[in-house]
């Protein structure tokens, strides 16, 4: 009887192993949803982020499929399993998603204001009226935030600053430059942008077996790519700072 029990146990272990391998099978494509950020996640699939993410996934046999949608819709697509991950999340931004160990880039956060305003620091920002695009939730990542106002779009920011409705507009460097570019060149000296934070950016995967498999692959590939320095050329091509010089490996 003991011999039969051993045989049955071994059979159960084999069957269990088959099921386990089936649940972690890596898909042949990854559907990545993102807002369109100029030269970062262009709708046509060009931009530094798309180049980085193709370098992560495609040598491993997983084709990157680009879904260009507004930020809030990108989050919704992942929630409805119509996309595998959304691009540009801050760490643990949403409890509905899985986060890898590795970020793929760092967001350079700036405060845009009238040049006559005091130069802000992370410690003094909370003394002022702040604004940012709805859904970005900078109050979670900047210290001492007090009064803030969310806006639907980036048009109209400069008049809002000029009329004193807010003191500082918070956004990533590329988007602050875009807002500043809405002013006539002769009037741009009225405004100033100030660096205030560096926030790592992540892929936020769906909480599914497919998402877990892609999350694991992403971390495995980033382990290799950061160790080898293979991503450095992509950042150099796009004239962007390399974010992994001070990072050896995340355990």
77-133 pLDDT, tens per residue? 999 999 999 999 999 888 999 999 999 999 999 999 999 999 999 999 999 999 999
Contacts of 81 (CB under 8 A, 6+ apart): 206, 208
Q: Are 83 and 204 in contact (CB under 8 A)?
A: no
Q: Are 213 and 103 in contact (CB under 8 A)?
A: no
Query: Chain centroid to CA 87: how far?
Result: 5
pTM of the model: 0.80
Exposure letters 122-150 (e unless 16+ CB within 10 A, then b): eeebbebebbbbeebebbebbeebeebee
- The SS3 call for residue 202 is strand
Tokens found for residue 194? 């100030």
Strands 191-206 and 97-98: antiparallel
Q: Is the pLDDT of residue 20 over 80?
A: no
Domains and CATH numbers, the chain: 25-106+200-237 (3.40.190.10), 107-198 (3.40.190.10)
Contacts of 131 (CB under 8 A, 6+ apart): 148, 149, 150, 151, 157, 160, 165, 166, 168, 169, 170
Q: Is the pLDDT of residue 231 over 50?
A: yes
Per-residue model confidence as pLDDT tens digits over 30-77? 999 999 998 999 999 999 999 999 999 999 999 999 999 998 899 999
Other Cβ atoms less than 10 A from the Cβ of 101: the count is 14
């Amino acid at each position: 009887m003991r011999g039969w029990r051993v045989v049955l146990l071994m059979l159960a272990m084999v069957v269990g192993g088959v099921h386990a391998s089936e649940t972690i099978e890596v898909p042949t494509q990854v559907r990545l949803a993102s807002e369109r950020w100029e030269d970062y996640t262009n709708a046509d699939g060009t931009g530094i982020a798309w180049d980085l993410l193709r370098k992560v996934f495609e040598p491993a046999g997983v084709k990157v499929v680009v879904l260009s949608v507004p930020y809030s819709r990108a989050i919704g697509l992942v929630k409805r399993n119509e996309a595998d991950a959304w691009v540009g999340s801050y760490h643990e931004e949403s409890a509905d998603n899985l986060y890898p160990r590795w970020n793929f880039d760092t967001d350079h956060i700036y405060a845009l204001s009238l040049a006559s305003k005091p130069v802000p620091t992370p410690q003094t920002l909370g003394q002022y009226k702040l604004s940012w695009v709805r859904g970005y939730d900078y109050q979670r990542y900047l210290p001492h935030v007090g009064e803030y106002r969310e806006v639907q779009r980036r048009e109209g920011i400069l008049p809002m600053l000029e009329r004193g409705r807010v003191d500082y507009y918070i956004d990533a460097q590329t988007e602050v430059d875009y807002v500043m570019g809405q002013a006539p060149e002769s009037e741009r000296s009225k405004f100033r942008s100030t660096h205030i934070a560096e926030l790592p950016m992540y892929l936020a995967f769906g909480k599914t077996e497919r998402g877990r498999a892609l999350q694991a692959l992403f971390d495995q590939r980033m382990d290799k790519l950061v160790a080898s320095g293979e991503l450095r050329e992509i950042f150099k091509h796009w004239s962007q700072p390399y974010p992994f010089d001070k990072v050896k490996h995340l355990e």
